[in-house]
Amino acid sequence: MDFNVTQHDSHYKVSVGTLLLLNVFNRMVLCPLSRQLLKSSSSCGAWGRLLQRPSSGCVYSSIHGFNQKEVKEKLQAFPGGSIDLLKQDSGIAILTINNPSRMNAFSGSMMVDLEDKVSQLEKWTDGKGLIVQGAAETFCSGSDLSAVRAISDPQDGMKMCMFMQNALTRLLRLPLISVALVEGRALGGGAELTTACDFRLMAHASVIQFVHKHMGLVPGWGGAARLVNIVGSQNALKLLGGALKVDPEFGLQIGLADGVLEGSQVEKHAETLLQQATNWLSLYTKGPAPVIQAVKKVVVSGRELPLSETLRTEKDVFGTVWGGPANLQALASKSIHK
Ligand SMILES: CCCC(=O)SCCNC(=O)CCNC(=O)[C@H](O)C(C)(C)COP(=O)(O)OP(=O)(O)OC[C@H]1O[C@@H](n2cnc3c(N)ncnc32)[C@H](O)[C@@H]1OP(=O)(O)O
């Protein structure tokens, strides 16, 4: 029996035998080969650095004089609040910044908690998407100012900054499509946190503001580097230099926001913001987890690596889905894309 398969504008004739052979070839030759390539590149290659090992997305390690255990102990001295993770059967997880009495400011223990939750998400094989939100109708007001005052020594400040850069870089590199649901205010480090997600959805009347200049600071959690990638250097300079308030309309205009959510309080039976964000995200997370994760991996490599390295990574990721269950099922079901 032959299947007529349309891919874009070309028609291919694929027999069941060919499909099975492809699958066997993939499982016995390509996959072990890919795994071998990944192994050999894991110590220094870009692929290994970015995608292969959990927590390998770290920017700082002991070779940079960074002692994670020591920094964690110091941060734990500033307790309060929590970072809550809910992994759902749908493959979409909800990460909640939870410290309402301080407008969801990050205490030291919340920073440690965040790193722990990112580690859990790195191991989530069934995951496809992630929504990052704040508790009690506001997003996050940045660093807890009482901790900031206590860690005024530049060396300690830099250690906290390295810790948060590691955690947020790993958050952005997760093989999950992530969205920050911004309600209320995202200030300082909270604004930086929104840039560690792939997308930002802003609720009516919400504000993202890099208030660092007003605090005599610049972003230190990787937010400036990510902001430049998202909105370009001209807009980033305006947002940081002017500590401008970004409302949903301005956010859409400069590309910081990817969508605006309706106010749920206005109409009694309106969808909650979380439901709206989930619906928005599900357009991109529909399908099997290995395929969605592969999509995110090729985009991460394209976003971060030089062209020749990103092409090699794309080839390796391609090898993990080619002839895989979703690919074979699509071929067998004669899927067409009108
Ligand atoms: C590299 C990271 C750099 C940084 O993130 S530096 C921190 C940047 N963030 C800030 O400066 C935010 C300072 N806070 C504010 O501007 C205002 O509190 C804010 C968020 C606009 C909310 O204003 P309001 O709605 O009027 O509420 P409020 O001021 O009464 O605040 C309610 C309670 O929350 C507290 N709070 C808000 N942001 C905080 C923070 N970042 N650290 C510690 N506590 C914070 C605030 O002190 C107040 O507490 P309390 O009720 O007086 O005990």
Of 245, 252, 249, 154, residue with least CA distance to 208? 245
DSSP 8-state symbol, 143: B
Angle at CA of residue 84, ends 169 and 158, nearest 5°: 40
Class (C level, CATH) for 62-263+271-286: alpha beta
Who's near 232: CB < 8 A, 6+ residues apart? Answer: 255
Nearest CA to ligand 1 atom 34: 102
* CB-count burial class (<10 Å; 0-12, 13-18, 19+) for 335: exposed
* pLDDT tens for each residue of the chain, 338 residues long: 333 333 333 333 334 344 444 444 444 444 444 444 443 333 334 545 455 544 568 999 999 999 999 999 999 999 999 999 999 999 999 999 999 999 999 999 999 999 999 999 999 999 999 999 999 999 999 999 999 899 889 999 999 999 999 999 999 999 999 999 999 999 999 999 999 999 999 999 999 999 999 999 999 999 999 999 999 999 999 999 999 999 999 999 999 999 999 875 555 556 899 999 999 999 999 999 999 999 999 999 999 999 999 999 999 999 999 999 999 999 999 888 88
Q: What's the pTM?
A: 0.88
Atom of ligand 1 nearest to the CA of 142: 5
State in Å: Cα 144 to ligand 1 middle: 8
Q: How much is the pLDDT for 57?
A: 80
Residues 118 and 95: their CA atoms lie apart, in Å, by: 10
Q: Please, where in the chain does CATH 3.90.226.10 lie?
A: 62-263+271-286
Strands 177-182 and 129-134: parallel
Of 220, 200, 213, residue with least CA distance to 239? 213
Contact of 226 with 256, CB cutoff 8 Å: no
State in Å: Cα 250 to ligand 1 middle: 23
Q: How much is the pLDDT for 263?
A: 76
Contact of 225 with 210, CB cutoff 8 Å: no
Name every protein residue with a CB atom under 6 angstroms from any ligand 1 atom: 102-103, 105, 141-146, 148, 185, 187-189, 211-212, 215, 217, 220-221
SS3 146: helix
Of 150, 136, 127, 126, residue with least CA distance to 82? 136
